[in-house]
Structure 1
């Protein structure tokens, strides 16, 4: 199994897995603390519309997905903040509309229809060197963002009104973290796929929450679990010849069950 490390494609997969694991560990902890899990699901599925449109126009699928993810994220946050629509209704609208637009444009694309399984369920073994670089840049940006604005992000995650009374620059920070969430979701699509990406942003954080209530410790532990679970799942998928995204998520599920049973025994 370790012979795979000699191949360039598997080295790219390992690097991308670790980088995305760190990114999702940090971003996911904020998402869970802020109770934005279903918003993230809406953004994830809305990005499929951009993927389909990009195929139709002959552009990079990840670029199209990123544009739609950012647009959906800002629309959901803006419209829900202004109380014009209920948040769950907006999530449902963007969730279904994004998937419908993606399927429609892929159907309209002349010639052979592309294989959607790699984007729906992920295939990290097909990641390119360019995508590894993008994952590294995003990972560095997320680490620096959390290091610089840790305290304000902590306030916003748990009590937005408290943040306002302490003169936290809410608009700028929310724009920044929203951009990072959307980009993290798009890059994670290659690893876990659109359907499974939501578990990547919640399961390591849920495991960390069993052991720590402290936000900082949750950030660290969820990042470690995200990286370790991803690497184990990647090697398991290669050894058993299974889809990488689904195997990684099942690995997270197994860790969750083991940790839960251990906590119950204590």
Structure 2
């Protein structure tokens, strides 16, 4: 029977696990930081759109023999631009436009994968392959993470106001169009970073779940950010450990653990949990 200490130390004897844990923790940190802004802005579906839209960019970048991150980022930004253009020039609602664009881009990517003869493994694109991540991909992830964190740190106050109340942000002279595209570009970058860890399909969970969990636990943004980061990094690291011991999908384990944390917060949150609401309802009825 493996002891608790061995449960944590045995995987660290494998170099690929050390790399996987580091990258998972880093991506969890970046995604959970950005998730606070996407939750406040109500952009869960936008994160889904960007993460799926990078699919054709990955394939085209492979064909052109350029870094996959460049193609993925280009198509992520392209999807955002297409959403903005269609929304501005038609009467179709934004949520409908997002659904149309991201499914169109994603389907185009599937067609390219089926027609282009390459070594690209569709399963790795969809669900990630952090256990087999290369040194070049680690460097890419670190660079993307640094760009995202530094940008958020510099524009933190402006982004918070933009997410809380864009009308007020405009009234005090902030360039909300600039902030809009900055946030969407950060979403694209983070989706590229998440490709290696959880893949295109599950990266949206990392961009939504930590922020949603923290939103139930705190009404203060600073505390919400800390809680989101804690849950994101914890679930990423522990999910990687669990996937090693059960020989399961790393991305799947990470997202399942994040979902479990959200459910616990939904039930036991001190102010907004179901137990508190049930107790308050019972008190009022009495």
TM, length-normalised to structure 2 = 0.85
Cα distance in 2 between the residues matched to 1:92 and 1:255: 28
Q: Which of 218, 223, 238 matches 1:217?
A: 223
- Which residue of structure 2 aligns with residue 138 of structure 1? 144
Q: Shift of residue 68 of structure 1?
A: 0.7
The answer to whether the aligner puts 1:227 opposite 2:242 as a matched pair is no
- Which residue of structure 2 aligns with residue 33 of structure 1? 40
Q: Which moved more, 1:75-84 or 1:249-258?
A: 75-84
Deviations 1:57-86 (A, max 9, x none): 444433322211121123323543566643
Alignment of 1:103-142 (within 5 A): 103-110=110-117, 114-142=120-148
- Which residue of structure 2 aligns with residue 8 of structure 1? 15
Seen in structure 2, the aligned counterparts of structure 1 residues 247 and 228 have a Cα distance that, compared at 3 Å, is same
Alignment of 1:76-225 (within 5 A): 76-80=83-87, 85-110=92-117, 114-225=120-231
Q: Rg: which structure is higher?
A: 2
Gaps of 5+ in 2: 1-6, 277-286
TM, length-normalised to structure 1 = 0.91
Runs of 4 or more, structure 1, over 6 Å off, are none
What secondary structure does 1:27 align onto? Answer: helix
Gaps of 5+ in 1: none
Cα distance in 2 between the residues matched to 1:18 and 1:83: 41
Is the Cα–Cα contact under 8 Å of residues 128 and 196 in structure 2 kept in the other structure? yes
Cα distance in 2 between the residues matched to 1:201 and 1:209: 13
